[in-house]
A = this chain, B = another copy of it.
């Protein structure tokens, strides 16, 4: 099923492929497809699973500054840069997985992971601030739909640079 889906997505683009088409190509009933993945965003999330896990591993136990060991501020910067790379590499899949159903982005487990990670780092880097909310705010411009829209006007390098400026601004101590 995942192979068939990946093939169709590669050939026709993620948005253009219907769940019926995936089911047919996989030689499987529609019911089976939906029972297995819940909905289209679940199917796409399953395809992203490997890459996502890899990034999470690098955060949890990879070398600093992305992994543990660096200063919190540096880890935030490294996370934003690494997540932006991940985003640029899989933008169309991520967009579908985040927008298939309303609020999908915020319900899937990985969002919780990214948020928790940033929240802990920001609490250290910026004591006294509402790290929990700021983590959400920093994830907002990392939404696939937002980046997709912005990429129509700014190239990837500008987006990455701008995100770095934003991260810096959130980290730096206020006088």
Residues on A facing B (Cβ under 8 Å): 15, 95, 99, 102-103, 105-106, 129-130, 132-134, 136-137, 140-141, 143, 145-146, 148-150, 152-154, 158-159, 161-163, 165-166, 168-170, 172, 174
Nearest residue, chain B, Cβ from A161 = B130
Contacts of A152 in B (CB 8 A): 106
Given A140-B141, A143-B140, A174-B172, A162-B148 contact (CB < 8 Å): no
Number of this chain's copies in the complex? 2
Nearest residue, chain B, Cβ from A115 = B153
Please list 27 pairs of residues, one from A and one from B, whose beta carbons are closer than 8 Å in the complex, sorted by A's number: A102-B145, A103-B145, A103-B149, A106-B152, A132-B154, A133-B154, A133-B158, A133-B162, A134-B162, A134-B165, A136-B141, A136-B146, A136-B150, A137-B162, A137-B163, A137-B166, A140-B140, A140-B141, A140-B143, A140-B146, A141-B141, A143-B143, A143-B146, A168-B174, A169-B169, A169-B172, A169-B174
Shortest CB–CB separation between residue A164 and chain B, in angstroms? 10
Distance in angstroms between the alpha carbons of A111 and B163 in the assembled complex: 20
Distance in angstroms between the alpha carbons of A58 and B153 in the assembled complex: 28
Contacts of A158 in B (CB 8 A): 130, 133
Most buried by B among A137, A150, A158: A137
